Chain A
Amino acid sequence: MELIINGTPRRVESEADTPLLWVIRDELGMTGTKYGCGAAQCGACTVLVDGQPTRSCVTPVESVAGLPVTTIEAIGEDPVGRKVVEAWVAQQVPQCGYCQSGQVMAATALLKQTPQPSDEDIAAAMTNLCRCGTYNAIAAATRQAAQG
């Protein structure tokens, strides 16, 4: 089947029910998207599918055929994504960093849909887990990206 990954058509041969995460990581060799739980609990695997934040670890690859998929590797090609990354750097958000690809993707999705989010909007959208507890920095960086 054909996927559209970061604007580029990619032919993949994984079984149709393979989670999108593992097609991205293993078949396409892009490891920025992380495996944390495989059960849509943690959000480390978040990518954008047609602009929607999507937990790729439970998303069968066949369900996104033909839809635009954006991964962390293309974050710099999106003006909102660039603002989010710069805010993440300014706020020194990451600690171990393992969840941060997913956090950055979730924040980018939020700000593309809601450029001026309230604190409640941020709380509702930013639900990914971080075992290092960078939650306050994540919220601050998301607010900063919205202003910047």
Chain B
Amino acid sequence: MNAITPPALVEALALRDALPEDRPLNLSRRGLLGASLGALVLGAALRAAPARAQAAAAAAKPGTRVPAFLEIRPDGAILLKSPFVEGGQGVSTAMAQIVGEELDADPARFTVECAPPGADYLVVNGMRITGGSYSVRSSYATMRQLGASARHMLLQAAATRLGVPPESLSTAPGRVVHAASGRTLDYGALATEAAALPVPEGVALRAEKDFRWIGKPVARLDVREKSTGKATYAIDMAVEGMLQAAVQHAPRLGGEPGAIANEAAVRAMPGVHSIHRLPGAVAVVADRWWRARRAAEALEVTWTAPAAEARNALPADFSSEGMRAALAAAPGPGNAAETEGDAAAALKGAARTVEATYDAPYLAHGQLEPPSALARWNADGTLDLWLPNQAPEMFQRVAAQLAGIAPEKVRIHSPMLGGFFGRHFLYDAANPFPQAIQLAKATGRPVKLIWSREEEFLRDALRPMGLARFRAGLGADGMPVALEAEAVGEGPIGRYFGTKPGAADPSVVEGIAGKPYAIPNRRVAQVPVKHPAVIGFWRSVGHSMNDFFYEAFLDEMAEAGGQDPYALRLRLLAGKPRHKALLEAVADLSGGWKRGPYEAADGTRRARGVAMASPFGSEVATIAEVSLKGGEVVVHDVWVAIDPGRIVNPAIIEAQVNSAVALGLSSALLEEVVYADGAPQARNFDGYPILPPDRMPRVHVRIVESGAPMGGIGEPGLPGVPPAVVNAVAALTGQRIRSLPLSKTRLGAA
């Protein structure tokens, strides 16, 4: 599995690990009262953690200590503590398939929960995150070996129990079999003895040709409980004696609560326990959440203007429109990310040139479960936290610093996530748990804090706005000979982990750099411009907009060169058999490439667009078919051919591609966070529409297993969708949309 390239996020985490200890720490060590609650930084969360992690890991390599992961109950039920958190991507089922395959246990017998913080679970390059579409591919070998070790221990225990040589034993799902005597022992009856045995090393793995569960459409483990309301999320948690809290944040980030005009009146409202001033917010604690929320919203707060030194304070005149202008005005040439040949010279010598500028807006995550955190201080000085998160150890570390206690005194509970899409990392001012810790301390009671949807829209960490300038040179034959691209802005990798001086932030250029096309002279660069707003990771990160920019501009190059966009891509991929095969696969899936416009059976006039993307270790080719209705785009069908190299569960892959298509389409058609006067204008889904059911296209998926190193699944289906749709719109209408979302533009037939 060495050939796997980690996503930029994981590389950045590793880089951060390697940094010297003398780099300034963004977090106060003064504990709860002195800690800056606003200063939560993903990168900082790992500071000083590696030494501890490595010391603990010295005792046992992460992912090897079987009892830390597996508990087999007397009835044969298997509890797996997974390194990863389930949030809809299917990783719990995948882990059960992988471990079960080697353990020889039916995945259906597994219960999977996210493991607490601990060195055993740092299986992602010595760290742990659920993100970067990296869970399965980074831990596949480790988790297989873990299952094989566990099976070996069960065989040893059975050999001792039966007084026979281990070689005389085999297994069938869930039990050890002694064929010679016909005796069998259920795993559940052997588990205690097996768990006490030393963990073996180098146990042989099952041959891939004998796989029963890996590679099969195994049913998801959580579907029934999610279909009957029994699944519990952080927002559903309750503990004895718990109070509930709601907050009202400063409308403009950086503001602090000043006078409260009606504090006494609000304190007298039903169920109200207490009112609290927090950094950047006021809170009401009550017996029930609705009472807390109504009281919190009733508070008449005078917000102070942000202090000059306030962290992340938004300027009073900050607007998304102004930000777009600032990105457009930022001069190149920027920091090169990819250079091949001599693009400048080739542009000068080109028969003709094409230029265009593209942009995409800030986006909200819009996961349907609003963020929450339940904090409970215990009599022994420990702290329990139930909260949505994609990185338990990082949250533990920051919580400990805020609480002023040692990390091992903070127990992090990671319930399943009601969607995440990058929302639940540590971001400045975007996580409720610091407030919950403080409120629980102040009240002496466990406190569950829920952010209303309106507060969530106010403090979500945004997919950055982005803008890219392109110049291409074409030869006399219409083929591209040169491409210059400048991606302007800032990405979450640069924001939270930094970049070396003069280097491009990979999360700004990915999807513009790293394309497979044979354009001989290229220069792709980042022009750095900081975002005043808090930015974060959003499903497929830079790819979420950059593949739109690039693939739409590639269609412009095709048009300028008098070429069909599909035929041009095939020519540019002549030396890339994996990509060429995938492009041909999606064309085949769609019934053969046809651009249109043409008349469909229902009389509508339609056209198709094509796009490719290389995100997160997988390759994807996408075709979309569109028509117009009332000036709006109707997307009828989306065909996706995805090559993740090797797979674990084709049914989950198909579901994830459907999901990524929906989110990609939602962003292309509808989504835009608009800031004006330092505040977001939409505070709920009425002002920030997301894809409704009646705009969901049919989705057709073909999985291509090329045998390449395993790639990601959760994110790769997204980036091809916006350009495929926009390219189809151009084919249908002649209108070339260079700024998303499409809802900004009234479209008319050509």
Which residues in A have some Cβ–Cβ distance to B below 8 Å?
Answer: 14-15, 18-19, 22, 25-27, 29, 31-39, 41-42, 44, 71-73, 75-76, 85, 88-89, 92-101, 104, 123, 126-139
Interface string of B340-374 (1 = CB under 8 A from A): 00000000000000000000000000111110000
Identity of the chain A residue whose Cβ is nearest the Cβ of B452 in the assembled complex: A38
Interface string of B446-470 (1 = CB under 8 A from A): 0000101110000000000000000
Complex A-B: 5 CB contacts under 8 Å: A36-B368, A37-B685, A96-B368, A97-B418, A130-B368
Interface string of B412-454 (1 = CB under 8 A from A): 0000111111000000000000000000000000000010111
Give the interface segment out of B7-15, B307-315, B597-605, B689-697. B689-697
**A131 in contact with B290 (CB, 8 Å):** no
Contacts of A137 in B (CB 8 A): 655, 658
**A97 in contact with B228 (CB, 8 Å):** no
**B685 in contact with A132 (CB, 8 Å):** no
B661 within 8 A of A: yes
**A96 in contact with B87 (CB, 8 Å):** yes
Contacts of A44 in B (CB 8 A): 368
B105 within 8 A of A: no
Q: Tell which of A18, A29, A44, A95 has the most Cβ of chain B within 10 Å.
A: A95
Given contacts A36-B369, A41-B685, A130-B693, 6 further A-B contacts (CB under 8 A): A31-B232, A38-B684, A92-B655, A96-B416, A98-B368, A133-B659
**Complex Cα gap A75–B229 (Å):** 9
**Complex Cα gap A122–B474 (Å):** 50
**Contacts A135-B662, A135-B696 given: A98-B419 contact, CB under 8 Å?**
yes
Contacts of B225 in A (CB 8 A): 97
Contacts of A88 in B (CB 8 A): 223, 227
Give the interface segment out of B233-241, B561-569, B734-742. B233-241
Contacts of A29 in B (CB 8 A): 238
* Interface positions of B from 266 to 286, Cβ below 8 Å from A: 270
Interface string of B207-222 (1 = CB under 8 A from A): 0000000000001101
B746 within 8 A of A: no
**B244 in contact with A26 (CB, 8 Å):** yes
**B685 in contact with A97 (CB, 8 Å):** no
Which residues in B have some Cβ–Cβ distance to A below 8 Å?
Answer: 87-90, 219-220, 222-233, 235-236, 238, 244, 270, 288-291, 366-370, 416-421, 450, 452-454, 651, 655-656, 658-663, 666, 684-686, 690-694, 696, 698-699
Contacts of B696 in A (CB 8 A): 133, 135-136
**A32 in contact with B230 (CB, 8 Å):** yes
**Complex Cα gap A41–B452 (Å):** 14
**Complex Cα gap A104–B692 (Å):** 17
Contacts of A135 in B (CB 8 A): 662, 693, 696
**Complex Cα gap A111–B416 (Å):** 30
**B659 in contact with A95 (CB, 8 Å):** yes
Q: Smallest Cβ distance from B88 to chain A, in angstroms?
A: 3
**Complex Cα gap A13–B640 (Å):** 53
Q: Smallest Cβ distance from B481 to chain A, in angstroms?
A: 40
**Complex Cα gap A22–B685 (Å):** 20
**Complex Cα gap A92–B654 (Å):** 11
**Complex Cα gap A58–B507 (Å):** 40
**Contacts A97-B222, A132-B659 given: A89-B227 contact, CB under 8 Å?**
yes
